[in-house]
Amino acid sequence: MAEKVIRVDDMDGSEGADVAKRDFEVLGRTFTIDLSDDNYKRLNELQDALAPFIEKAVEVKPAGKGRKSRVAKIKGYTNGDVRDWALRQDIEVSERGKISDEVYAAFIEAHPDAKPDA
């Protein structure tokens, strides 16, 4: 018994003796596709045409996720509470943005119930 394998061009659906599995690389990733000689030639021409653009371009990386504290700094109080307390204690604290770990530590020392594991 004999089996006959018929390769079909993935681009145009044509069959032929010249259709073969073709590997190609784009931006460091390898792909494979069944193409006839003509379509493989077209693919190579497209890659050659894109090469100067890719060489001059700068890769855009996806934005990373913002850093979030994994552990709560304080329990049962808001950052506003911490800022108000710090100002009453004459401790320098910004009106907005990150509160320093030292300010949180001082707040927790003055308010033991604010300790995250309390």
Q: Is residue 72 part of a domain?
A: no
Q: Residue 1 is part of a domain; what is its CATH number? A: 3.30.60.230
Q: Same domain for 49 and 4?
A: yes
Per-residue pLDDT tens digits for 56-92: 998 888 887 766 555 567 888 888 999 999 999 999 8
Mean predicted lDDT score pLDDT of the chain: 88
Q: Same domain for 3 and 54?
A: yes
pLDDT bracket for residue 49 (50, 70, 90): very high
13-22, 36-45, 98-107: least confident range: 98-107
Q: Same domain for 14 and 46?
A: yes
Q: What is the C-alpha radius of gyration for the chain, rounded to an integer number of angstroms?
A: 32
Q: Residue 105 is part of a domain; what is its CATH number? A: 4.10.320
Question: Given this model, what pLDDT does residue 69 score?
Answer: 54
Euclidean distance between CA atoms 105 and 78, whole angstroms: 14
Question: Given this model, what pLDDT does residue 68 score?
Answer: 59
7-11, 37-41, 58-62, 113-117: least confident range: 113-117
Q: Same domain for 51 and 84?
A: no
Q: Is residue 41 part of a domain?
A: yes
Q: Same domain for 49 and 99?
A: no
Domain residues for the domain of 10 are: 1-59
Q: What percent of the chain has pLDDT over 90?
A: 48
Sign of CA dihedral 5, 9, 15, 19: negative
Q: Is residue 73 part of a domain?
A: no
Q: How many domains in the chain? A: 2
